[in-house]
Chains A and B, each alone.
Chain A
Amino acid sequence: EVQLVESGGGLVKPGGSLRLSCAASGFTFSTNTMNWVRQAPGKGLEWVSLISSDGTYIHYADSLKGRFTISRDNAKNSLYLQMNSLRVEDTAVYYCATQFYGVKIFDNWGQGTLVTVSS
């Protein structure tokens, strides 16, 4: 059974940093493109970033470039999101999600971790 478990969320002040982690199990992590998708409280879904299976190609939503960095450690079956210069509008539940084969859709999701940016 595919399991994705996010961690690292919490309360942070504007301008602060957080590093989210996603521990994967139940599938061959090293062959999967992985994504982060977020959802502000009471709002819709917003794609954040993706990283290829070997980490060689990475894409971000334009609004996040330069502040967020996605990475992975295939030896540890883990995905990460380093978030710097956090803003109030970054407050959201952050989900990690697997990509469905070569199609840029999301077939397995974690339960999410809440990031709250507030002074």
Chain B
Amino acid sequence: EIVMRQSPATLSVSPGERATLSCRASQTVSTNLAWYQQKPGQAPRLLIYGASIRAAGIPARFSGSGSGTEFTLTISILQSEDFAVYYCQQYDKWPPLTFGGGTKVEIK
């Protein structure tokens, strides 16, 4: 099973600043990596797949990069609606499909 680890667990950022979230896989997943956003009381929302491809309707301030075992989600200019928990998920080797433990982006 591929283990996904996210860091940091919590990221405190001021609105208008940049946020950089990391995700590491226990073995290579090529670019078969997705990112989701989840707000309290809501279902997750797909943001990025293929490590860097924005899903439909996702603003350009969200960008993904990386390949192999190291991945990054960057939110270039944080808006108030971006404060949420973010999860990465690998879909290279399955079952199982596995998620990281999440990074909470909170208001500084």
Using CB atoms and an 8 Å cutoff, list the residues of chain A in contact with chain B. 44-47, 50, 59-62, 95, 100, 103-107, 109-112
Contacts and interface: CB of A to CB of B under 8 A. Distances in A.
A107 B55 contact: yes
Interface residues of B, number: 24
Nearest to B55: A107
Chain B, interface SS category: loop
Interface of B: 1, 34, 36, 38, 42-46, 49-50, 55, 87, 89, 91, 94-102
Contacts of A62: 1, 95-96
B91 A103 contact: yes
Given A45-B99, A105-B34, A95 B43 contact: yes
Contacts of A45: 36, 38, 44, 87, 89, 99, 102
